[in-house]
Structure 1
Amino acid sequence: MAKHKKDTRLQEGVDYYFNEKGLMVLTAHYLRKRGYCCKNGCKHCPYGFKKPTQRKM
């Protein structure tokens, strides 16, 4: 019998969820609660930080 993980991505007040690769993803709720931007380019960054993309020449 296959186990089904509960999808927490859309739940209000959740601090993190695990993506399809099994990696923990911090939510905007948690990042706002933490109170500062770490400048790592978090997927749900509420502070608007985006990592610069490297361009191939």
Structure 2
Amino acid sequence: MSDELKPAAAAEPMEIEDGDIYFENGFMVFTEQYHLRRGYCCGSGCRHCPYREDESETGL
């Protein structure tokens, strides 16, 4: 199998702690506290991401 076809190494899962998530309309929502503990932006546009650019600057 070539290197291009191998799946990326999975990141180690973080343990969910009190205050890391809440549920809204059937969706699990990560809090800012969770994102800060994780330490980076995943690029998914999470509602409470402290790492994304100010929306007024990006035009979103």
- Structure 1 or 2, whichever has the larger Rg, is 2
Aligned length: 40
SS in 2 for 1:24: strand
> If the length of structure 1 is used for normalisation, what is the TM-score?
0.58
Partner of 1:14: 19
> If the length of structure 2 is used for normalisation, what is the TM-score?
0.56
- Say what the alpha-carbon RMSD is for the aligned residues: 2.0
Unmatched 5+ stretches in structure 2: 1-17
The structure that is helix-richer by fraction is: 2
Q: Are 1:26 and 2:30 matched, yes or no? A: yes
Q: How high is the sequence identity, in percent, across the aligned residues?
A: 47
The offset of 1:52, in angstroms, is 6.8
Unmatched 5+ stretches in structure 1: 1-12
Partner of 1:42: 46
CA–CA distance in structure 2, aligned partners of residues 52 and 45 of structure 1: 17
The one-letter code of the counterpart of 1:14 is: G
CA–CA distance in structure 1, aligned partners of residues 59 and 23 of structure 2: 25
Distance change (3 Å), C-alpha of 1:39 and 1:52: farther
The offset of 1:22, in angstroms, is 1.1
